[in-house]
């Protein structure tokens, strides 16, 4: 019984007691007083009954909302993609808006061997290729995407200004495309390297606050690269300064954001050709700081709130890497790994403290073949999920879900030497 219930009941009993006392002092009014007392007691009971019914209805509604907000996932199902490429089709990014509105981006090969940007849309029944710009004479690739709304979607990658040749080193420029609900168009972006400029990640905070990550290199600089960070302010993309940690190579991989003053960026840095260090940067609205650093590791991040996030990847021993953020610190949590294989998680989607999915691949080191892996966090432990067998050499590049839509995962499968096809998993 709540405090409100007790107060209502006490009010009814006190009123009845007062009336009973008055009745005892005035015998001629005893019958009228008794009737009034019983009526007020009955009214109090009806009030309590109505409030109990309201509370029970609220509990039922909350249960319905909770059920709807926790999509079930009994297992993964392969969903055929469009596959327009002559030899290769690959997905690197996925965005889930609803069960009938899903986007996937990547690339496919033209007949001359160059890659073309690939965007496909799921309407609840089938995947359809949607036309995308290809500004480069050579290869054009999309690596990631983020959704502000159904009519405001961004995809990032790179394009080559020259056609490919086995003996040539092809210059790349940054590529960002925007979907306005009707078509994809290219948006002007900086390419500070002037030779090797690539974008690998993108995340939105709002329509006027979007971050993109990658790397760039200059011609004839010995192969050195620097990390690249771009920001959209609602009008233009601009380059943003940030710390560099390696003297040889630096690169930013993915980006995740929970607020304007909380942006997380993963990257890698090396000062020699024999080892690299994975790191995690955090933006607090004023400055960047390094929060995690692990030699030989690679990882990416995902959050459901400022106090619940996961950093997933692979460590230098070939084991799956999962670290949890509780709003104050990162703590490594055990995760399963396929034995005798090099395990790497490359994407994570976080729905709540009791629900997260991570995907990637496990590689046979001496053979080079990959096996797609999928894991789920239930609030207590990470578990490896059973995976369909779409074909040889499968890997997953991205996964996403919403509080009301079960996860989708995308990647590729097939022989890297002959034919590779886009891979799409849907959790049912």
- What are 85-129's pLDDT values in tens digits? 988 999 999 999 999 999 999 999 988 888 999 999 999 999 999
Q: Please, what's the b/e burial string for 356-379 (b: 16 or more CB within 10 A of its CB; e: otherwise)?
A: bbbbbbbbeeeeebbbbbbbbbee
User: Interior CA angle at 127 toward 125 and 133, to 5°?
Assistant: 145
> Which ranges of the chain have pLDDT less than 70?
1-72, 164-170, 366-367, 415-418
Tell me the angle at which helices 3-25 and 30-69 cross, rounded to the nearest 10 degrees: 170
Contact in structure between 424 and 80 (CB atoms under 8 Å): yes
**3 state SS of 47:** helix
Cα–Cα dist 358/344, whole Å: 10
Contact in structure between 345 and 361 (CB atoms under 8 Å): no
Looking only at the bridges linking them, the beta strands covering 140-149 and 127-129 are: unpaired
Tokens of 101: 């509105």
Cα–Cα dist 174/192, whole Å: 9
Cα–Cα dist 339/251, whole Å: 30
Q: Provide the pLDDT for residue 364.
A: 87
Q: Provide the pLDDT for residue 280.
A: 96
Tokens of 99: 């069960």
Contact in structure between 417 and 394 (CB atoms under 8 Å): no
Q: Provide the pLDDT for residue 8.
A: 25
Q: What is the CATH number of domain 73-427?
A: 2.120.10.70
Q: Provide the pLDDT for residue 254.
A: 96
Contact in structure between 370 and 395 (CB atoms under 8 Å): yes
Q: Provide the pLDDT for residue 46.
A: 53
Angstrom CA distances, 393 to 322, 412, 421, stand at 24, 8, 10
Contact in structure between 198 and 169 (CB atoms under 8 Å): no
Going from N- to C-terminal start, the domains of the chain cover: 3-68, 73-427
Nearby residues of 262 by Cβ (< 8 Å), 6 or more positions away: 282, 283, 284, 285, 306
Cα–Cα dist 166/141, whole Å: 18
pTM of this structure: 0.82
Cα–Cα dist 287/210, whole Å: 17
């Amino acid at each position: 019984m709540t405090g409100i219930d007790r107060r209502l009941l006490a009010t009814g009993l006190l009123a009845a007691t007062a009336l009973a006392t008055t009745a005892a002092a005035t015998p001629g009014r005893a019958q009228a007083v008794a009737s009034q007392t019983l009526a007020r007691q009955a009214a109090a009971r009806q009030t309590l009954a109505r409030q109990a019914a309201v509370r029970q209805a609220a509990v039922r509604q909350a249960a319905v909302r909770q059920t709807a907000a926790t999509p079930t996932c009994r297992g993964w199902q392969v969903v055929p993609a469009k596959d327009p490429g002559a030899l290769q089709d690959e997905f690197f990014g996925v965005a889930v808006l609803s069960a009938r509105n899903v986007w996937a981006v990547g690339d496919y090969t033209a007949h001359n061997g160059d890659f073309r940007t690939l965007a496909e849309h799921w309407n609840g029944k089938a995947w359809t290729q949607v036309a995308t710009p290809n500004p480069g004479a050579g290869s054009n690739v999309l690596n990631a995407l983020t959704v502000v709304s159904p009519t405001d979607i961004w995809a990032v990658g790179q394009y080559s200004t020259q056609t490919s040749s086995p003996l040539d080193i092809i210059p790349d420029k940054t590529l960002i495309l925007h979907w306005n609900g009707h078509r994809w168009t290219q948006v002007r972006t900086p390419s500070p390297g002037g030779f090797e400029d690539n974008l690998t990640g993108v995340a939105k905070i709002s329509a006027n606050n979007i971050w993109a990550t990658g790397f760039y290199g200059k011609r004839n600089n010995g192969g050195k690269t620097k990390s690249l960070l771009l920001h959209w302010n609602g009008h233009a993309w601009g380059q943003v300064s940030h710390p560099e940690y390696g003297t040889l190579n630096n690169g930013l991989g993915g980006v995740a954001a929970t607020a304007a003053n909380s942006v997380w960026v993963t990257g890698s840095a090396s000062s020699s050709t024999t080892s690299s260090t994975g790191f995690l940067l955090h933006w607090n609205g004023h400055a960047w700081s390094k929060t995690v650093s692990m030699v030989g590791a690679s990882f990416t991040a995902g959050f459901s709130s400022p106090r619940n996030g996961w950093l997933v990847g692979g460590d230098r021993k070939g084991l799956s890497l999962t670290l949890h953020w509780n709003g104050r610190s990162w703590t490594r949590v055990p995760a399963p790994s396929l034995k005798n294989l090099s395990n790497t998680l490359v994407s994570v989607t976080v729905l709540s403290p009791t629900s997260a999915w991570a995907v990637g691949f496990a590689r046979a080191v001496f053979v080079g073949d990959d096996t797609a892996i999928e894991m789920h966090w239930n609030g207590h432990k990470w578990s490896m999920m059973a995976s369909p067998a779409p074909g040889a050499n499968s890997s997953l590049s991205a996964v996403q879900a919403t509080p009301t839509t079960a996860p989708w995962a995308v990647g590729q499968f097939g022989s890297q030497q002959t034919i590779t096809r886009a891979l799409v998993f849907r959790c049912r």
